[in-house]
Structure 1
Amino acid sequence: MSLPKRIAPASASVPNAHTAQLASTGAGWKPLWVMLGGLSALLILAFVSLTQGLADISVKSVVQALISPQDTIDHNMIRGVRLPRTIMGLLSGAALAVAGTLMQTVTRNPLASETTLGVNAGAYLAVAIGSIFMPAVLHQYSLPFAVIGGTLAAMAVYALGGARKGTPLRIALSGMIITLVLSSFTSALILLNQESVKGIFLWGSGSLIQNDWDGVGFLWPWIVGGIALVCLAVRHLDVLTLNEETARSLGQKVAGTRIFAMAIAILIACVSVSVVGPIGFIGLIAPHVVRMSGMTKHGWLIPVSALWGAAILVGADTIARSVVDAYGELPAGAITAMLGAPWLIWLALRISHKSQMNASSGGSSMSVGSLQRRIPYRTLVVIFSILLAVVWITSLTSGTLRIPLSEVLAVLSGQGEDLYRQILIDFRLPRLLVAGLAGMAIAVSGSLLQSAVRNPLGDPQVIGVTGGAGVGALLLMVAIPQISISWLPVAAVIGGVGAAAIVYSVSWRRGLNPTILTLVGIAVSAAGAAIINLLVVQAEMKAAPALAWMAGSTYGRGWPEVWQMALTVLVLLPIGWRLGRRVDLLSFSDESSTGLGLKVRRVRLYVAIVAVLLASIAAANVGAVGFIGLLAPHAARILVGAHHSRAMVISALLGGVLLASADWIGRIVIMPRDLPSGIVTALIGAPYLAFLMYRASRKGH
């Protein structure tokens, strides 16, 4: 099984390297050499792929099995297991590459692919739902499930990204946010139904494992037929790359061509994903490799991209199998993600030179609106403080055992019955305090990062901090379990700081440009997600704690975590507050801020250090809780405006309320089981973010 790819809506024009201009015909020998190079690479990698695996089969046996097969174990292994797997890689790689090519052409977005646009996440969720609630139907109709999930995800990204007015950055951010939402739901479903979805996590990481020819037999007619149809329409696709008015003046039915090309892209991507799972970045890497050679005409671009996509995926699968003896087989999707993340970073740096991706378009306006009649700041502080207290008290009374309010107050004042005291002091109170303090830390981290990258969608997850912290935490939990769990926060901080260091070091030479920061953060997040999936797959029966962490959970938190979070909040929040005036100046353009005497890069670095520490320590204690770092700062700015010091205080209070409420809801909604807090925050945050991005796209931001 596998997941479909997503679509990216029409966005800002593609940089010159990616716009197929009719003046560039791709004539001459260069296209032929690039095609021959791709074919040679594919043939070599395919042969090497046949030599890799658990069974120790000689190269001579592989050649004999291909030329003159005999009824031997080795030859049957080659022809019945390894060869279909290699052919599957060839077909899937070609499909994903062609789908990415079509997406980039139709949307005029150089960042469009099955990964950056989140189609994989939509298909993965749809297949997970089918595995749990309709397993028999899914077994017969996995493709429709994948297509529906991927198509709906693509439509959501298209709408949230501003449709045809969306910039490449906004589309990429929309895809990232949709992926976060859908991945949270998928993690929760897998965590709560582990017996029903056995094996789906390996498939969800992208695996080419085949035990016979059935998968290839299902796949090849769809993919070959889809690519053949596209090849018949290459002239229409060439015209489509011109601006819309010119295309129409040439008689092009622009809307019909776009729908046709995007439908084929979604179909062949979803066919691939329905069999081998969500394998990312092939649709981003292969078309760019070919376009870099100067090919722009789709008559060359599509077949050569297919060749290179096949070579990349077969090569990634070969790498995955080459380490099988030492670590167990790695998912091919994890390998392509680790290859694709550096590629996305390089691409972000490259397109930063293009006029379409200048700083003004990259850094979205920080304006999220405000109330016409603003409530006094002190009144808001009192209101949200009272609300936080009410949520905390209500949470303490709720659970499998209902505790009267009078007993809660008695226990908190040092009295009360022993049973109630044990439940409250040992279980509910520390968990509640961890949730509240972590919510404050995440909210303030989001507020600081949004100011640092000058983008209202800045968030610890988007910038890659949460993913890095997750890698550090899971390495400790899964790879070296003999180390004491008390080192978990240290591992998470090291991972989060390491991810942030990559993002900032790569972006430093571009003056920490908000566009580059965000795109590099997305790439680092993707790499972190791939490594996390890899660790969970390798964990086998130890996957439950890792899945709980990925979904974001406050379950089982005790007083040690309370002291860690309390120390973090008491030390770092005042530092963030003291940065107030300098953070306010970051909301202007870099030139204006510098003219006012602000050392922009240095201040961004200070702000980032505080934000990264807050997010990393929070992630170590509550896992990958999303959306609070987006929701709380937005709501705070609506209430008090862009004044950072005031907005930060309101963000902290709102973050505490949100995560404490999510923890409370998660404990009572499916008692006696716990729903991870991260799922609840995703349910709360997704509608708000949908509204926010839709409104921003209507205003033309």
Structure 2
Amino acid sequence: MYADTSTLPLARPTIPATLPIAAVILWLGALFASATPWLNQLDPIAILSAFWTFNPDQYASVLAHYSWAPRVSIAMLIGCGLGLAGAVTQQILGNPLASPTTLGVEAGGQFGVTVATLFAPGLLAFSPDLAAIGGGLLAIGLVIALTWRLGFSPVTVILAGLVITFFLGAMNMAFLLLKGEWLGNLYIWGAGSLVQNNWGPFMDLWPRVLVLAILMLLLMRPLQLLQLGQASASSLGARVGLIRVLALLLVVLMSTTVVSRVGVVAFIGLAAPVLARLLGARTLGSRLLWSTVMGGGLLLLADTLAHWASTWGDGSLVPTGTTTALIGGPVILLALQGLRNTHHMPGQESSPAGFQPKRRSPVIISGVIVTLLLATIVISMGWSPGLDGWNWTPISQWHEAWVWRGPRLLAATLAGVALGLAGTLIQRMTGNPMGSPEMLGISGGAALVMVMIVLSGLEVGRAGQLGAATLGAAAALGLLILLARKHRFAGNQLLLGGLALYVFMDAGLRLVMASGGTVAAQLLNWMYGSTWLTSENEAFGLMAFIVLICGLLCLVVRPLTLLPLGDTSASALGLPVAKARLLLLLVAAVLTASATVVIGPLSFVGLIAPHLARVLGQQTVGRQMIVAALVGGLLLAAADYLSRIVVYPGQLPAGLLAALVGGVYFLWGLSRHGRA
């Protein structure tokens, strides 16, 4: 919790002068920056009066009154509401990284609106709030169900919330790719836009935000008791469970009400309380007040930056969700530096005597997996739906079917092999069984570079994409290692740091969704693993590259075996630890980049494959790498086939299908750890 009663100061904490000064600077700076484009058209008095009146004979005055002033007002209103919701969430869970975004509430709200748009449009006509609230309650319910056995362990709650965010985002993207003609405008909205053309949305929203804020403040005294701990609060007559449920319900209502109107403006609910705390807000009352104030200023500033970027660019919309997501990554990293977690990571045992699966012969296990992989290849090449129903393609005609089915199947299989190897390297090197290229942000680094290349219009070819993606993956991994050194590469810091890096990729994704057009559609298809874009030459080139890297992996078996013994022991046995870590990082980055170019950045295969290899009884480094590679190839080969037939004649990206399955697997792992 936030406070320890044994060390409470005798005097009430005072608010340092830096806090109100910073708030005033933030608000005045954001307001001035927002009003700057109007200074050459209107005088300061006219700009200020645009909030309540306008001059009908002056077009700039009319535009300011009906466009600029409502946008500024709704930014401040929503920012204040999300800042307050974030502070309440952190108080409920005793978690400095909790917020509606990191708990999946905002993604759940967007998911609810998406489902209602497709299957119950009448509900949206009645009230868009109901669909968003239903999705938000679904997301927060999943988080609570997965983590309550751990007493809402800070790291585990955030991991569950962010993975649920990714999972629901993948579901949203599946709907977008399948029903793009119905949902295109919805996802431009979902990227988070505060553009206004009248005062209607603000006038409709402010009473709701005010009522919810008052109800949250009425819970302030019961929330204060939570600082004493659950046992002490209960002994004082507080019904802790009821307080938490009521407060979380208000948080969901506040967040989803905002989402249903302006889309996802992520991380304001996290950034505002963290900033207030860093500037000296100590008591609950001061945190609630200053988080509210900081939230309004931060969102106004972020929206102003988004407006400037739209104006200075090629005229395409830069959503406010992009700029707020860019704020969220550094805030998570900043808050992470002071985080103390008293619980073990999911998958880590509290004692060395953890569960060890029975050792099995690698020859038998590998033979079974290879048999399944060959069966998958045969079925994928031969048994498929067509215009006249399901039919079997004879082997004599496979050379004709190869053009349509072969390259994508080969590329998916090879990407699975690369991710299985990369995941094993990362889990062994960090000693963290929940580490993977996806969860550590390595895939996100590669994807972010790819997004920048595509949006810039550069034609670099597949080789150039691979090189750029490798640099992005290596940069993300290097930055993550630098950030985690302070905590001696502890698993929780690595995972949260990696997820923070992934936030930047999310900002790029929101920018792409808002831009629209064919380039956006192609990039979104690639980002979720559309293997149908792969040519025969690219597939064979990837095969040659993977074979070359696999040959180099023979050199890393000994370092991976010695590094878990500790730096001192490994050095005493003659291993140059620093050089070994650098080599492993580079190999993992190259493998991840090669797979990301083909299958996209979010498949979770790098997490699942090493786990399954260990479950199948392969404990030594070499055996685990071989089996993990085969399992990865089998998983993505099956995902590619299923993505081709599940919604025939439509297609789902194989990486998206793998991400949905992988997200379920990760959440199952969290719940299994809770039961243990």
The one-letter code matched in structure 2 to 1:215 is: P
Judged with a 3 Å threshold, the aligned counterparts in structure 2 of structure 1 residues 628 and 368 are, in CA distance, closer, same or farther, namely farther
Question: SS in structure 2 opposite 1:198?
Answer: helix
Moved more, 619-628 or 609-618: 619-628
Tell me which of 323, 343, 349 is aligned to 2:331: 343
The one-letter code matched in structure 2 to 1:437 is: L
Q: State the partner residue of 1:4.
A: none
Q: What whole-Å deviation, never above 9, does each CA across 1:519-543 have from its counterpart, x for those lacking one?
A: 2211110112112321342353422
Q: State the partner residue of 2:394.
A: 407
Moved more, 482-491 or 48-57: 48-57
2:618–2:627 contact (8 Å) kept in structure 1: no
CA distance in 2, matches of 1:147, 1:64: 36
Q: State the partner residue of 1:292.
A: 278
1:518-533 matches, within 5 Å, as: 518-533=495-510
1:556-571 matches, within 5 Å, as: 556-571=533-548
2:438 matches 1:461: yes
Q: What whole-Å deviation, never above 9, does each CA across 1:474-526 have from its counterpart, x for those lacking one?
A: 22223215444553222322322222222123334544343332222111101
Q: State the partner residue of 1:579.
A: 556
The one-letter code matched in structure 2 to 1:407 is: P
Q: What whole-Å deviation, never above 9, does each CA across 1:248-272 have from its counterpart, x for those lacking one?
A: 2222221122122211111111111
CA distance in 2, matches of 1:190, 1:403: 27
CA distance in 2, matches of 1:226, 1:233: 11
Q: State the partner residue of 1:82.
A: 68
Q: State the partner residue of 2:399.
A: 421
Question: SS in structure 1 opposite 2:582?
Answer: helix
CA distance in 2, matches of 1:588, 1:283: 41
Judged with a 3 Å threshold, the aligned counterparts in structure 2 of structure 1 residues 371 and 59 are, in CA distance, closer, same or farther, namely same
Moved more, 289-298 or 584-593: 584-593
Judged with a 3 Å threshold, the aligned counterparts in structure 2 of structure 1 residues 375 and 510 are, in CA distance, closer, same or farther, namely closer
Q: State the partner residue of 2:607.
A: 630
2:644 matches 1:659: no
1:53–1:324 contact (8 Å) kept in structure 2: no
Q: State the partner residue of 1:256.
A: 242
Judged with a 3 Å threshold, the aligned counterparts in structure 2 of structure 1 residues 582 and 56 are, in CA distance, closer, same or farther, namely farther
The one-letter code matched in structure 1 to 2:59 is: I
Q: What whole-Å deviation, never above 9, does each CA across 1:275-312 have from its counterpart, x for those lacking one?
A: 11111121211112222233232222212210000000
Tell me which of 547, 551, 557 is aligned to 2:524: 547
Moved more, 160-169 or 495-504: 160-169
Q: State the partner residue of 1:275.
A: 261
Judged with a 3 Å threshold, the aligned counterparts in structure 2 of structure 1 residues 382 and 143 are, in CA distance, closer, same or farther, namely same
2:453 matches 1:476: yes
Q: State the partner residue of 2:288.
A: 302
The one-letter code matched in structure 2 to 1:617 is: S
Question: SS in structure 2 opposite 1:399?
Answer: strand
2:610–2:624 contact (8 Å) kept in structure 1: yes
The one-letter code matched in structure 1 to 2:320 is: A
2:97 matches 1:120: no
Judged with a 3 Å threshold, the aligned counterparts in structure 2 of structure 1 residues 97 and 571 are, in CA distance, closer, same or farther, namely same
1:431-450 matches, within 5 Å, as: 431-450=408-427
Q: What whole-Å deviation, never above 9, does each CA across 1:301-326 have from its counterpart, x for those lacking one?
A: 21221000000000111111123222
Q: What whole-Å deviation, never above 9, does each CA across 1:670-693 have from its counterpart, x for those lacking one?
A: 222211112322343344333222
Question: SS in structure 2 opposite 1:318?
Answer: helix
CA distance in 2, matches of 1:21, 1:213: 50
Q: What whole-Å deviation, never above 9, does each CA across 1:211-259 have from its counterpart, x for those lacking one?
A: 2222212221221111112222222211111112222222222112212
The one-letter code matched in structure 1 to 2:646 is: V
2:3–2:228 contact (8 Å) kept in structure 1: no
- Cα RMSD between the aligned structures? 3.0
CA distance in 2, matches of 1:53, 1:547: 36
Question: SS in structure 2 opposite 1:109?
Answer: coil
Q: What whole-Å deviation, never above 9, does each CA across 1:413-463 have from its counterpart, x for those lacking one?
A: xxx35xx52332x22111111111111111221122222332222121111
2:168 matches 1:168: no
CA distance in 2, matches of 1:587, 1:54: 62
Tell me which of 348, 365, 368 is aligned to 1:364: 348
The one-letter code matched in structure 2 to 1:629 is: G
2:212 matches 1:226: yes
2:346–2:673 contact (8 Å) kept in structure 1: no
Aligned residues: 669
Judged with a 3 Å threshold, the aligned counterparts in structure 2 of structure 1 residues 26 and 318 are, in CA distance, closer, same or farther, namely farther
Q: State the partner residue of 2:378.
A: 393
The one-letter code matched in structure 2 to 1:326 is: W
2:105–2:136 contact (8 Å) kept in structure 1: yes
CA distance in 1, matches of 2:486, 2:600: 32
1:118–1:176 contact (8 Å) kept in structure 2: yes
Judged with a 3 Å threshold, the aligned counterparts in structure 2 of structure 1 residues 39 and 597 are, in CA distance, closer, same or farther, namely same
2:526 matches 1:538: no
Moved more, 591-600 or 231-240: 591-600
Q: CA deviation at 1:637?
A: 0.5
Moved more, 307-316 or 149-158: 149-158
Q: State the partner residue of 1:413.
A: none
Q: CA deviation at 1:205?
A: 1.8
The one-letter code matched in structure 1 to 2:624 is: A
Judged with a 3 Å threshold, the aligned counterparts in structure 2 of structure 1 residues 647 and 526 are, in CA distance, closer, same or farther, namely same
Question: SS in structure 2 opposite 1:112?
Answer: coil
Moved more, 525-534 or 676-685: 676-685
Moved more, 240-249 or 575-584: 575-584
CA distance in 1, matches of 2:229, 2:583: 43
Q: State the partner residue of 1:41.
A: 26
CA distance in 2, matches of 1:293, 1:182: 34
CA distance in 1, matches of 2:640, 2:36: 51
Judged with a 3 Å threshold, the aligned counterparts in structure 2 of structure 1 residues 432 and 20 are, in CA distance, closer, same or farther, namely farther
CA distance in 1, matches of 2:618, 2:151: 27
Give the TM-score of the pair, scaled to structure 1: 0.88
Moved more, 48-57 or 243-252: 48-57
Q: State the partner residue of 2:134.
A: 148
The one-letter code matched in structure 1 to 2:432 is: N
Q: CA deviation at 1:86?
A: 1.0
CA distance in 1, matches of 2:510, 2:383: 34
Question: SS in structure 2 opposite 1:207?
Answer: coil
1:20–1:297 contact (8 Å) kept in structure 2: no
Judged with a 3 Å threshold, the aligned counterparts in structure 2 of structure 1 residues 52 and 206 are, in CA distance, closer, same or farther, namely farther
Judged with a 3 Å threshold, the aligned counterparts in structure 2 of structure 1 residues 379 and 301 are, in CA distance, closer, same or farther, namely same
Q: State the partner residue of 1:618.
A: 595
Q: State the partner residue of 2:362.
A: 377
Judged with a 3 Å threshold, the aligned counterparts in structure 2 of structure 1 residues 67 and 189 are, in CA distance, closer, same or farther, namely closer
CA distance in 2, matches of 1:78, 1:404: 63
Identity fraction in percent? 29
Judged with a 3 Å threshold, the aligned counterparts in structure 2 of structure 1 residues 688 and 484 are, in CA distance, closer, same or farther, namely closer
CA distance in 1, matches of 2:183, 2:439: 28
CA distance in 2, matches of 1:53, 1:457: 51
Runs (5+) with no aligned partner, structure 1: 1-12, 409-415
Q: CA deviation at 1:368?
A: 8.2
Question: SS in structure 2 opposite 1:512?
Answer: coil
2:19–2:280 contact (8 Å) kept in structure 1: no
